[in-house]
Structure 1
Amino acid sequence: MKLRTIAISQLALATALLTLDAVPALAQATTAAAVVENTGIIEDIVVTAQRRRERAQDVPIAITAFSAEALQARGVVNALDLTQFVPNLVGLNNTGLGTANAYYLRGLGNTESVATFDPPVGTYIDDIYISRQNANNFNLFDVERVEVLRGPQGTLFGRNTTGGAISVVMREPGDTTGGYVEAGFGAYDQKLVRAGVDLPVSGNFGLKLSGYWQEDDGWVRNTVTNERLNNNNGWGLRLGARAKLSDSITWNGSITHTFADATNVLNFDCNPANPAQCDGRFATTGLRRSNDFGGRFVGPKDDFGNYNKARMTLLTSNFGVALSEKINLNVITGWLDLSQKFALDFADGTSLPSLSSPTPPVRSFTPGGFVIANDGSHRQFTQEVKLSGSLADGLIDLVTGLYYFKETNNTDFADLFNIGSAGPVGFPLVLADRTLRNTTEAWAGYGQVDVHPIESVTLTAGIRYTDEEKTFGVRDNRASCNDGTIEAGCIDSINLSAPNGVAIPRAQKVQLWTPRFAMSWKASNDILLFASATNGFKSGGWNARGTAASELLPFGPEKAWSYETGFKADLFGKRLRFNMTAFIIDVAGLQTPSAFVRPNGSVAFLTRNFADYLNKGIEAEFSARPTEALTLFGSLGYQDDRYALPANAPTLDEYNFQSVAAQQISCRQQLAAGRVALGATAEVAGACGVGIVAPDGSIATPVRTPAWTMSMGATYEVKASDKVSIIPSANVNWRSSSEVGTSAVSLFNQPFTSAGGTRYPANAAYNGDFIRGSFSQARWIANASLMLKHADGWQVLVECRNCFDEEAVESSLANHSYLNPPRTWTIRARHNF
């Protein structure tokens, strides 16, 4: 299930990022401000990818940086849109949750949203780390820049960046009074209002106030309840401040509060109740927005409806102190309070697809088919002290600091499985109803030194030490487990033991060093060559979605080494910029969340360090300004990845859990004996189509790693008069086919008869036409816009997104496929004053 509990969405980038779905607001550090130099040809962006200000083309790492102007030219509205333009980056909304993004960068990603998991692609807002994916989908307006950094970033950005980091830097309050107001409408009765204003109180103090409100009907029709689903409603307010406290001390701070109501529920391109009706997106669940589970769940979540609501408050503070002309100290503080409430039907009010019933009949169960109800509360505090500057007349550049992180999560959630009124007594069945409490406390010290032995050569060495402890506890909410006795069947901390009786630890500690080494050569003012080796890690956790205490097994941290070499070049007088990187990523203990349908039709969730992982590839990006009016841009990514099974792994681990190699052997033996992967209970090959073992007994393809990703686009400014410009813009992005489910389970319409004589109407062997599952075909997505811009500050924009209404499988859960959003259009008018 995907997180995006709050999506730092459309609130605070009006000089604040106003979250669309619940955004963390940001306060920009004065010393981290981006600078865009107008070269007259291709813009130069000054970034903080190494925690100090540098021109992007001089940073010896693979980085894709977008200025505010570039974001507008490419039609980037929210963080998810960025994934269309970054090679080897795949992004998607989490299943169910319209407020959460899952990113896969160079093959490393995570779609799990429960708080015992951490995403390997970190999100940062003005240097504040956002730990939960619930809060990482934000709309990008009034932003200074966005930096996408390939991982790992274990030295300067720290834990949970094995895949990389997405860093958003906000505009700080301006020195003069001014602002903007924007209003728009669009497809599915979308209405939007945004506004921001700079209020300089004095020469040394200024404020920025931003606000946002959005509402739409949703692009999914529920043909049973007549409700609209997958809406994106929300509002937010942000107050930013900057102050010059003395000649050497500055401060930036902000407070943002947002509310979001946004879902990404299961839907179909043709109406399941009337397959001939294919003029939109459809759902048939009986679960309503106004709902009562009839006492099946304990606590407030028993009244949650088919929605996902998130509230967030974020405070940021950054004190900058100039200790000398070349040495700066920053004290960076962040505090986040996030709540998320939802009840989502992941089976569309029916049973789950299987070989026996690949397109289950429409049942529209009122409590839903497979429902997760969630009432979560998440708080985090971060404190960092960073020292940066130059020594010995520029011979050495230094960044060093101390970092503290504290997080507390309370998640009250339950799972309901339904097979209808014809099912056995006790259905709908509550698989589990429990409350999790988990904490993380981490300390770190880091440092990076760049030495310039000669003017054109830089040698880099960096290291980070992390001391981290995580704790975990669970309480069963059922009355029978809270009557003074705790039975063996209760999901409670005192029952945390594996099937073999080994106790499941309730704490995990890690102390480790993550180094980085790099070198670069400035062959000329316009050409940089570089190579690096970087280490990073992602924290371990617990398989908290298990529905029995014995299933809440721990998984360890994943550790990664990345090796890069490449060049960055500005050519033809900066009319062409071309950057290329080759990389190898070697991961030990890859954390892999997996979900599969049990023979009884219910869903099992499983996460382990199934295997090691190796990925190698190339990335190329270009931008060009052949004329002053025309801008061209594009990117190309290639990757070749595989799972690597650890040599000499025992058949069973300490918790009696089977190794992947042993599971694969069992699967092949079961298939040879005539059993069927995903088959009926009597003849099921239970070791197949589970974890990373595919239904045919092979090791599955790693998820969301299309071999090729490509994007290209153009913007052209036509001067209609001295004050009026017409600016058409278009871009397309393509990715090759890939798998989006760890077990590579997809259902196809060629029937077959098993060795035991069972007739199945579908197969999982890729024979016939695709029905549902994890296979994602290659696809193109095209976007376009037309802007009328006036020099007096007025502009009108007409745009379409996914203009040709291309459908693509973005994710899968329990053999269902989740599609990308359909075509949308918007008209917006804006005035800058």
Structure 2
Amino acid sequence: MNRLVKTVLLAGAAWGALSASAVAQEAAAEPQASTVDDIVVTARRREESLKDVPVAVSAFSSAQLEQKGAADITELTRTAPSLTLQAARGSNSTLISFIRGVGQQDPLWGFDPGVGLYMDDVYVARPQAAVLDIFDIQRIEILRGPQGTLYGRNTIGGAIKYVTKRIDADEPEGQIRASYGSFNQRDIVASAELPFNEKFGISAAVARYLRDGYGTNLNTGNEHYNKDVTAARMSAEWTPTDNLFFRLAGDIVKDDSNARHGHRELAPSPASVYDTNAGAGDRNSVTAKGLSLTGEWNVNDWLTLKSVSAYRDGQTRGNIDFDNLPQPILDIPARYDDDQFSQEFQAVLNGDRWSGVAGVYYLDATASGAFDTVLGLYNANTALSLPPGTFPVGLTTLTAGSVDTKSYAVFGDFSYDVTDALSVSVGARWTHDEKTGTVFRQQYAGIRSPSFGNAGAVLFGAPRTNYTRTREFEKFTPRVSVSYKLNPDLTTYVSWGQGFKSGGFDMRGDAVAYPDTVKGYDPETVETWEIGLKGSLFDNRLNFATAIYDSSYEDQQITTQYPSGSTVASVVDNVGSSSIRGWEFEGRLRVSDNLTVNGMLSYTDAKFDQFLAYIPTGPLNASCPTQPGCFVDVSNQRDFQNTPEWTGSIGATYTHWMANGSNLAFIPSASYRGDYQLFETASPVLDQGAFWMFDASLVWTSSDDRLTVGVHGKNLSDEEYRVGGYVFPGALFGDSLIGYYGAPRTVTATVGLKF
């Protein structure tokens, strides 16, 4: 209760001051020359002003992101409250996402993310190739809290909407942007819109990103933390009548950047955090592509029917070196494959006093893969007391499998204006998921298994895991909100809702070390209360949003990997329950016609109420039986991962207009991120302390808005900060404590031309 009181007091101070100011300013404010532009969003599947939406949502327009030189969506971590977006360990383009402490760090096939990523209206089921570069977009929206009543695939922690541009030109037009920067960065992005007539047009965009590595693999001489990405999109839009619209869109991303092996934090350790001595191999390849068909029919003034059909697939081939040494002490060659088909039908309704969306959703997805866990220093002669020469030094565990998912859902969310000021929204979702998991684990004597190139590997014992099982999960999740307009520019709201993420199967599960792995794990749920205030003050010079929330997180799914004899075992279980409470504020103030200031601040108090950890070698205390394998509540020894208590940012845009009509904008910013753990269990060597990041951009724009020239500096203080890691102590595993780091200081010059 004390934590909730603390949170309410923090929010109440800002909320009360803003509300009082609004009442005082409503009559006294004088007209001003300029206002802060508001953004139109589709957070509730219909177009609304951002300041009127009774949902905690941040929105970033393409112009804002381009002016700041934002490269990909992970940069939003610096400017959106309660958000963590990072590239996964060992990868440049696999996304790890958390909102308000809810997310999924493990990108292995078969795991559902806690934060839903949508490219336009298409749910992206897998995190591979999901670190989307920012180009040819209209805006990006970050929705916080459960969103299942509004979105086709349930999103327990929140949703990220990546909205691409639609054709809005009357005649052919295009643009090109070229960049050169630190570490020999060479980027080029080109896009074009070709309307053939009023009814039909096509658009296309292509991007090529190249950059030398921030560091070097000192063992192989290859680049480390480099970038080699090609991305393209194309769409065709047809409007046969005023009431019909069709859009066929395709996209592809190919990432041939080298594998990221991280930095060994214990000796022997390279001097630079971006260098490595890894010997597992530097080849890495990720490809993802998709095709979608969207149809809209405006039946009448109050009803629009919409269909979204989509297919996506992806392939990943790579290597992760857990020990970061030349020898194959703990190496992981891996491959992932996935495909998905989704179909969504929506009915969007808008009346005089009511509005809403109802829909049905279907997903048929398959995710599969395989990887070797190579223990190169494992000596079968001594460890197993076998006759000399029976097996070579080295033991490999092959893990392979797949998860087939069929998901069905019905959802709806409707609002009714009881009065001109008071509005009530009611939503609900019914979800039915069917998952079939196949898991296989087999050990081989030798370095790598036959699946990864070692035809001479010898079977070592019976399979440790070998099963196929189907489970079904079903849940009804409601949502209710009430909003009230204090005046035309200020809205307060209170909402309550539930989120749901289905259970599944641990693709790493070792049935010898943990026999119950064959049962799979159960769903998790989040129940969230939220009170918010948003709108405009000072004659629309200030746009802001603030909210407090209280979430109850039940049956949380957490992956724990630990050494087990001659291999690495894994447990995915529903560890118990937790409480997440917090406060968020973000705003944008027009100080003068030349100066705009923006900022955000968020506080998150996330605590485990119960954490039932699997102990493979009991007993540890009176609650653990004498037989090996039990669960013990260690909630007082665990903390949330990737969830700093405080995050914040402040920035400004100062624009100077020149006599010829052109302008020069200076955009400095500073962001703060409090200390956080990389895993639930503390690791003093790896856990990241609090730090500040400083960025600045200088952008000149011609009078006709056709030519821009900019210089963008990122991480100007050259802060070294970890975004991921691995913890496998012990001589057998090479004392593997590995850190992965964010980008160092970079400066990039960009030229953009519209024609």
TM-score by length of 2: 0.86
Q: Distance in 2 between matches of 1:516 and 1:438?
A: 30
Q: Distance in 1 between matches of 2:393 and 2:503?
A: 34
Aligned to 2:410: 445
Q: Distance in 2 between matches of 1:83 and 1:805?
A: 17
Cα offset for 1:236? 2.4
Q: Distance in 1 between matches of 2:657 and 2:347?
A: 47
Aligned to 2:275: 282
Aligned to 2:315: 339
Q: Distance in 2 between matches of 1:428 and 1:578?
A: 63
Alignment of 1:389 onto 2:302: no
Could you tell me which amino acid in structure 2 is paired with residue 286 of structure 1?
G
CA contact under 8 A between 1:594 and 1:691: conserved in structure 2? no
Of 353, 356, 361, which aligns to 1:398? Answer: 356
Cα offset for 1:237? 2.4
Aligned to 1:809: 722
Alignment of 1:412 onto 2:370: yes
Q: Equivalences for 1:759-774 in 2 at 5 Å?
A: 772-773=685-686
Q: Distance in 2 between matches of 1:516 and 1:120?
A: 18
Alignment of 1:615 onto 2:588: no
Alignment of 1:708 onto 2:620: no
Alignment of 1:590 onto 2:556: yes
| Pair 282,687 (structure 1): closer, same or farther in 2 beyond 3 Å | farther
Could you tell me which amino acid in structure 2 is paired with residue 725 of structure 1?
N
| Pair 212,73 (structure 1): closer, same or farther in 2 beyond 3 Å | closer
CA contact under 8 A between 1:232 and 1:263: conserved in structure 2? yes
Aligned to 1:353: none
Q: Distance in 2 between matches of 1:82 and 1:72?
A: 13
Cα offset for 1:723? 3.3
Q: Distance in 1 between matches of 2:637 and 2:41?
A: 41
Q: Equivalences for 1:361-372 in 2 at 5 Å?
A: 364-365=326-327, 368-372=328-332
CA contact under 8 A between 1:174 and 1:199: conserved in structure 2? no
Q: Distance in 2 between matches of 1:427 and 1:693?
A: 40
Q: Deviations over 1:188-217 (max 9, x none)?
A: 222111101111111111111111112222
| Pair 816,487 (structure 1): closer, same or farther in 2 beyond 3 Å | closer
Q: Distance in 2 between matches of 1:416 and 1:142?
A: 42
Aligned to 1:653: none
Cα offset for 1:580? 0.7
Cα offset for 1:488? 7.3
Cα offset for 1:492? 5.2
Aligned to 1:732: 670
Q: Is the partner of 2:262 in helix, strand or coil?
A: coil
Q: Deviations over 1:152-192 (max 9, x none)?
A: 11211254411100011111123221111122222222211
Count of residues in Structure 1 that have an aligned counterpart in Structure 2: 691
Alignment of 1:576 onto 2:569: no
Could you tell me which amino acid in structure 1 is paired with residue 586 of structure 2?
E
Q: Is the partner of 2:575 in helix, strand or coil?
A: strand
| Pair 744,40 (structure 1): closer, same or farther in 2 beyond 3 Å | same
Aligned to 2:75: 81
**CA root-mean-square deviation:** 3.0
Aligned to 1:717: 655
Q: Is the partner of 2:77 in helix, strand or coil?
A: helix
Cα offset for 1:583? 0.1
Q: Tell me, which stretches of 5 or more residues in structure 2 are unaligned?
A: 1-31, 383-388, 728-736
Q: Is the partner of 1:454 in helix, strand or coil?
A: coil
Q: Is the partner of 1:83 in helix, strand or coil?
A: helix
Q: Distance in 2 between matches of 1:242 and 1:271?
A: 56
Q: Equivalences for 1:119-158 in 2 at 5 Å?
A: 119-158=113-152
Q: Is the partner of 2:74 in helix, strand or coil?
A: helix
CA contact under 8 A between 1:243 and 1:252: conserved in structure 2? yes
Aligned to 1:750: none
CA contact under 8 A between 2:34 and 2:541: conserved in structure 1? no
Q: Equivalences for 1:650-729 in 2 at 5 Å?
A: 659-660=612-613, 667=620, 693=634, 698-729=636-667
CA contact under 8 A between 2:536 and 2:542: conserved in structure 1? yes
Aligned to 1:314: 290
Q: Distance in 2 between matches of 1:411 and 1:632?
A: 47
| Pair 691,177 (structure 1): closer, same or farther in 2 beyond 3 Å | farther
CA contact under 8 A between 1:174 and 1:208: conserved in structure 2? no
| Pair 810,665 (structure 1): closer, same or farther in 2 beyond 3 Å | same
Alignment of 1:455 onto 2:413: no
CA contact under 8 A between 1:220 and 1:267: conserved in structure 2? no
Q: Is the partner of 1:287 in helix, strand or coil?
A: coil
CA contact under 8 A between 1:272 and 1:282: conserved in structure 2? no
| Pair 511,274 (structure 1): closer, same or farther in 2 beyond 3 Å | closer
Q: Is the partner of 1:826 in helix, strand or coil?
A: strand
Aligned to 1:432: 397
Cα offset for 1:428? 5.9
Aligned to 2:690: 778
Q: Deviations over 1:21-74 (max 9, x none)?
A: xxxxxxxxxxxxxxxxx9941112111111111111111111111111222344
| Pair 549,542 (structure 1): closer, same or farther in 2 beyond 3 Å | farther
Cα offset for 1:241? 1.4
Cα offset for 1:789? 1.9
Cα offset for 1:317? 1.4
Q: Distance in 1 between matches of 2:418 and 2:460?
A: 68
Q: Is the partner of 1:82 in helix, strand or coil?
A: helix
Q: Deviations over 1:425-445 (max 9, x none)?
A: 756634422431211001111
Aligned to 2:246: 251
Q: Distance in 2 between matches of 1:491 and 1:423?
A: 21
Q: Distance in 2 between matches of 1:408 and 1:95?
A: 23
| Pair 403,270 (structure 1): closer, same or farther in 2 beyond 3 Å | closer
Q: Is the partner of 2:559 in helix, strand or coil?
A: strand
Could you tell me which amino acid in structure 2 is paired with residue 284 of structure 1?
N
Cα offset for 1:247? 2.2
| Pair 534,173 (structure 1): closer, same or farther in 2 beyond 3 Å | same
| Pair 561,287 (structure 1): closer, same or farther in 2 beyond 3 Å | same
Cα offset for 1:549? 6.1
CA contact under 8 A between 1:692 and 1:699: conserved in structure 2? no
Cα offset for 1:721? 3.1
Alignment of 1:638 onto 2:603: yes
Q: Distance in 2 between matches of 1:580 and 1:555?
A: 36
Q: Deviations over 1:395-431 (max 9, x none)?
A: 2212111111110122122221233899957566344
Aligned to 1:323: 299
Point out the more displaced range, 417-426 or 156-165. Answer: 417-426
Aligned to 2:463: 490
Q: Is the partner of 1:134 in helix, strand or coil?
A: coil
| Pair 390,46 (structure 1): closer, same or farther in 2 beyond 3 Å | same
| Pair 215,487 (structure 1): closer, same or farther in 2 beyond 3 Å | closer
Alignment of 1:742 onto 2:680: yes
Point out the more displaced range, 191-200 or 216-225. Answer: 216-225
Q: Equivalences for 1:192-271 in 2 at 5 Å?
A: 192-262=187-257, 265-268=260-263
CA contact under 8 A between 2:54 and 2:493: conserved in structure 1? yes
Could you tell me which amino acid in structure 2 is paired with residue 489 of structure 1?
A
Aligned to 1:292: none
Q: Distance in 2 between matches of 1:154 and 1:46?
A: 21
Q: Tell me, which stretches of 5 or more residues in structure 1 are unaligned?
A: 1-37, 289-305, 350-363, 497-504, 647-658, 672-685, 747-771
Aligned to 1:3: none
| Pair 720,395 (structure 1): closer, same or farther in 2 beyond 3 Å | closer
Aligned to 2:28: none
Q: Equivalences for 1:509-548 in 2 at 5 Å?
A: 509-548=472-511
Q: Is the partner of 1:188 in helix, strand or coil?
A: helix
